[in-house]
Amino acid sequence: MNFSVTHIGKEFFEPRHRLSVVKAVPLDNIQTILVIGIDQLGGLMMSTPFFRELRKAFPNAKIINLVGPLTYGVMQNCPYIDEAWKFDKKQSWALIKQLKRQSFDLAFLPSGTLRTSLMAYLAKIPHRVAYDDDGNGFLLTVRLHQELHSRYRVENLFDMLRAVGVTPSGVYEREIWLSQSDLDYADGWLSQKGWSEKTILSFNPFSTDIKRRWTDEGWQSLLHIVQKDNIQPVMLVAPNEVDVGEDLLKKWGIVDVPVESHAVTKTAAIVQKTHYVIGPESGFVHLGLAVNKPHVIAFYNVLPPVSTFPVDNSFHTAMIKTSVACAPCYLYKFKDVCPNGVECMKQLTADEVYQVIANYESQSV
């Protein structure tokens, strides 16, 4: 589905409040661009339109992405950059020297950290664009203030482009970049499973923020229901979650559900073979939205769905118990503790989730 996106002009920034420009970016003279980040899977899966629009704005520039190990494999396949460099924090000083030799003209720093801003400054990149979230504002030449959480988060990233004079579009149009090897791997996976004729539900119950996780009772009931309906579940998780996932299934009394871990791009290719992606808001859910072939059903409580989910796309569903007065709570820091025992997730029932699946199944008949 295509979305109409309102282009926000310079007046949106309210320069005295959201944008400070120390040095304007000469768009016609930019030949080399550095992007530091995005290092989290969910953030990258949302933000793939940023790289597309960056390339569209600078078709002839050399674009290098400095990125962490988790998303490095994905960025190696990105058609909008020239190179992906893996970032090791232990080698920051050596890396600064390497960046300095490249003579970059412009740096976008999506993470907005003091470390990355200092790296760009010491590498003598003349134009440095970021949010000043980490006391790093004095190191920036184009300084944005106050990321807005009440709208789709990628708009904040698009604001970095708008701040230098670029008008991006297609903020909801996510992409996933897969190699032929990834696609062949998924074909082999499906053939080996013998699931070609089955409706497949891929899920991941985990989140690094435990406040966002659904209840054991919810997962247990949902998996029993879908298995009775001849839907095949498969748990797709990170390598360090396999044993925990298997223990959960035993605890729930669920059988004939594999727990698997694959490389990120291979997981994405496998997800393309499934019909449903279910889980709390997480990197896995955002990967499913980037694949955009299975229906995605995501559980929200900390943030409103509008902040990270394409809420107008009826092909996918975000679920949040707004009947619980404190949802969304905006307690998005890991150290934040829910004072109400995560009642919002306890009130989300398996029957409600299954009804969403049943509605999609009826549409496909």
Residue 61: count other Cβ atoms within 10 Å of its Cβ. 17
Residues 35-69: pLDDT tens digits?
A: 999 999 999 999 999 999 999 999 999 999 999 99
Q: Is 273 in contact with 200 (CB distance < 8 Å)?
A: yes
Handedness of CA 217, 238, 65, 102 (dihedral sign): positive
Q: Please report the pLDDT score of residue 4 as a whole number.
A: 28
Comparing CA positions, the residue from 317, 327, 321 lying closest to residue 355 is 317
Q: Which residue has the higher pLDDT, 335 or 261?
A: 261
Residues 153-200: pLDDT tens digits?
A: 999 999 999 999 999 999 999 999 999 999 999 999 999 999 999 999
Q: Please report the pLDDT score of residue 2 as a whole number.
A: 29
**Cα–Cα dist 240/244, whole Å:** 8
pTM of the model: 0.91
Q: Is 34 in contact with 108 (CB distance < 8 Å)?
A: yes
Q: Which residue has the higher pLDDT, 150 or 266?
A: 266
The torsion angles phi and psi of 317, rounded to 5 degrees, stand at: -135, 130
Structural fold of domain 10-162 = Rossmann fold (3.40.50)
Asked if residue 9 has pLDDT above 70, the reply is no
Tell me the percentage of the chain whose pLDDT exceeds 70: 95
Residue 270 CA from chain centroid, whole number: 18
Residues 286-315: pLDDT tens digits?
A: 999 999 899 999 999 999 999 999 999 999
Q: How confident is the model at residue 281 (pLDDT cuts 50, 70, 90)?
A: very high
Q: Please report the pLDDT score of residue 19 as a whole number.
A: 86
Q: DSSP string of 90-140?
A: GGHHHHHHHHHHHT-SEEE-TT--HHHHHHHHHTT-SEEEEE-TTS-GGG-
Tell me the residue length of the chain. Answer: 365
Looking at the DSSP bridge assignments, the partners of residue 129 are: 108, 142
Q: Please report the pLDDT score of residue 365 as a whole number.
A: 62
Cis amide linkage into residue 79, ω under 30° from 0: no
Domain ranges across the chain:
10-162, 180-364
- Computed over every residue of the chain, the mean pLDDT equals 92
Residues 84-111: pLDDT tens digits?
A: 999 887 777 889 999 999 999 999 999 8
Q: How confident is the model at residue 1 (pLDDT cuts 50, 70, 90)?
A: very low
Q: Is 236 in contact with 270 (CB distance < 8 Å)?
A: yes
Asked if residue 10 has pLDDT above 50, the reply is no
Beta strands at 62-67 and 83-86: parallel, antiparallel or unpaired: parallel
Name the 3-class secondary structure at 156.
helix
Q: How confident is the model at residue 7 (pLDDT cuts 50, 70, 90)?
A: very low
> Is 180-364 in the same CATH topology as 10-162?
yes
Q: Please report the pLDDT score of residue 93 as a whole number.
A: 84
Asked if residue 6 has pLDDT above 50, the reply is no
Comparing CA positions, the residue from 4, 44, 18, 14 lying closest to residue 265 is 44
Q: Please report the pLDDT score of residue 90 as a whole number.
A: 77
Residues 110-137: pLDDT tens digits?
A: 988 999 999 999 999 999 999 998 899 9
Which residues have C-beta within 8 Å of that of residue 356, sequence separation ≥ 6?
297, 317, 319
CATH of 180-364, one of 3.30.70.260, 3.40.50.170, 3.30.390.50, 3.40.50.2000: 3.40.50.2000
Place of tokens 């400070």: 20
Residue 334: count other Cβ atoms within 10 Å of its Cβ. 10
Q: Which residue has the higher pLDDT, 19 or 201?
A: 201
Q: How confident is the model at residue 17 (pLDDT cuts 50, 70, 90)?
A: low
Q: Please report the pLDDT score of residue 92 as a whole number.
A: 78
Tell me the percentage of the chain whose pLDDT exceeds 90: 86
Q: Please report the pLDDT score of residue 15 as a whole number.
A: 44
